[in-house]
Amino acid sequence: MKTTFWLILITIFILTGCSGSQDMDYISIKSDSAEAAQESHPEMEALERINEDTVTIAFASVVSPEETSSKYELLVNHIQEELDQPVHIVRKQTYDEVNQLLETGEVDIGFICSLSYVLGREQGYIEGIATPVVDGQDVYRSYLIVNKNTDIHAIDDLKDKRFAYMDPYSYSGRLAMLDMLHQNGFDPDTFFKKTFFTYSHDYSISAVAKGAVDGASVDSILFDLMVENEHPYTEEIRIIEKGTYAGAPPVVVSSKIDPDLKELFTEKLLSLHQSPEGQHILNSIQIDAYTELKPADYDPIAEIVNTIGDFR
């Protein structure tokens, strides 16, 4: 299925990339295998079917939808057991969609991007409760990546090239790159020949490895884990620049969540690493532990937003 997807995707890149237009292309990442994965999870039903006792948890597609479903299955099952309440999973393609659901209270808990948290925090409808610790760190940054077989070694070399962003509201997948361009005196609206959204960091990495685009900005945590796991795509990639460190993609709750539910969920999540079962779950998603979120760690993102202005 993935081979078919990438043939279609590369064709889209070729057809749209020749126009020289500066308009963004929004690429759907939903493949047949993603649809099958969703159909196999009956908990992913329409929101209107949920009763009042159900806890809703939203995931945006930081990685491909198939990977998101399998990666967090043990964690979700454990949460359901610990809360002693049914849990409904809401999986959305974009960060903005998840933020909208958190704002309205249709979703109680969200696993989101750091930039999405900052935007929701400033508008008062999101509260951050936990940050993942990976390899001893609860911060991350953006990697600017290119194919190792190209002559691209610096940001300047990406002028008039094809570039993949991850999501309009992604820190590591877009905002950090806009900041790098700003620091180098480049206008992101005219710098690249063509830009795309992949809505998944692993798809962005794959696009660079396969030569579908010339560069991309991606999550350092995910990329480092792919290197650690000896993923073949990373062998085709060179990192040419790194962004500013900020708090890792957090776990948040809606401001409309029941206070007792928030307290119980926070307690269970932060103590997960203290039991053998919890350690097994965390090992399965390659996280050391969840730690209490430190709002100041996310201030660098807010500063970038304030510096470059309207990035949307």
| CATH code of the domain in which 163 resides | 3.40.190.10
Say if residue 75 is in the same domain as residue 150. no
The pLDDT of residue 29 is above 50:
no
Q: How sure is the predictor about 93, in pLDDT bands with cuts at 50, 70 and 90?
A: confident
Residue 71: inside a domain: yes
Say if residue 127 is in the same domain as residue 273. yes
Say if residue 96 is in the same domain as residue 161. no
Say if residue 130 is in the same domain as residue 261. yes
> What's the number of domains the chain is made of?
2
Rounded-to-integer distance, Cα 66 and Cα 286, Å:
17
Residue 79: inside a domain: yes
The pLDDT of residue 76 is above 90:
no
pLDDT > 70 in the chain, percent? 80
Residue 119: inside a domain: yes
Q: How sure is the predictor about 73, in pLDDT bands with cuts at 50, 70 and 90?
A: confident
* pLDDT value for 62: 63
List Cα–Cα distances, 284 to 69, 130, 139, 211, 288, in angstroms.
13, 18, 20, 31, 10
Say if residue 272 is in the same domain as residue 216. no
Of 243, 261, 284, the residue at which a domain comes to its end is: 243
Number of neighbours of residue 26 by Cβ within 10 angstroms: 13
Q: How sure is the predictor about 255, in pLDDT bands with cuts at 50, 70 and 90?
A: very high
Say if residue 108 is in the same domain as residue 199. no
Residue 20: inside a domain: no
Residue 309: inside a domain: no
Residue 306: inside a domain: no
Say if residue 157 is in the same domain as residue 88. no
239 lies in which domain range? Answer: 142-243
Rounded-to-integer distance, Cα 299 and Cα 163, Å:
27
List Cα–Cα distances, 115 to 74, 165, 168, 261, in angstroms.
26, 14, 10, 25
Residue 2: inside a domain: no
Residue 8: inside a domain: no
* pLDDT value for 214: 98
Of 221, 243, 265, the residue at which a domain comes to its end is: 243
Q: Which of 150, 163, 254 is nearest to 204 (CA)?
A: 163
The pLDDT of residue 200 is above 80:
yes
Say if residue 105 is in the same domain as residue 160. no
Say if residue 184 is in the same domain as residue 123. no
Say if residue 41 is in the same domain as residue 106. yes
pTM of the model: 0.81
* pLDDT value for 53: 82
* pLDDT value for 312: 75
Q: What are phi and psi of 238, to 5 degrees?
A: -120, 135
Say if residue 110 is in the same domain as residue 82. yes
Say if residue 98 is in the same domain as residue 174. no
